[in-house]
Amino acid sequence: MEQEIMEAVKKAKEQAKPRNFTQSVDVVINIKDLDVKKPENRIDEEVSLPNGRGKDVKIAFIADGDLAVQAETAGADLIISKAQLEDLGKDRKAAKKMANNYNFFVAQADMMPLVGRFLGPVLGPRKKMPKPVPATIKPDPIIERLKKTIKVRIKDQPLIQAIVGTQDMDDEMIAQNIEAVLGILDQKLEKGRNQIKTMYVKTTMGPVVKVI
pLDDT of residue 95: 96
Q: What is the mean pLDDT of the chain?
A: 94
pLDDT of residue 157: 93
Q: For 59-69, what is the mean pLDDT?
A: 97
pLDDT of residue 124: 95
Give pairs for 85-88: CB < 8 Å, separation 24+: 85/111, 85/114, 85/115, 85/118, 85/119, 86/114, 86/118, 88/118, 88/119
- Report the share of the chain in percent with pLDDT over 70: 100
103 has a pLDDT exceeding 90: yes
Same domain, 77 and 41: no
In this structure, the number of other CB atoms found within 10 A of the CB of residue 130 comes to: 22
Q: For 92-117, what is the mean pLDDT?
A: 96
Same domain, 48 and 71: no
Confidence at 2, pLDDT banded by 50, 70, 90: confident
Identify the domain containing residue 14 by its residue range: 2-54+148-210
1 has a pLDDT exceeding 80: no
Q: For 161-185, what is the mean pLDDT?
A: 96
Residues 117/124, Cβ–Cβ less than 8 Å: no
Among 92, 127, 146, identify where a domain stops. 146
Same domain, 73 and 120: yes
* pTM strictly above 0.75: yes
Among 130, 146, 162, identify where a domain stops. 146
Same domain, 91 and 35: no
Among 129, 146, 163, identify where a domain stops. 146
pLDDT of residue 30: 96
Q: In this structure, are strands 104-108 and 131-133 parallel, antiparallel, or unpaired?
A: parallel
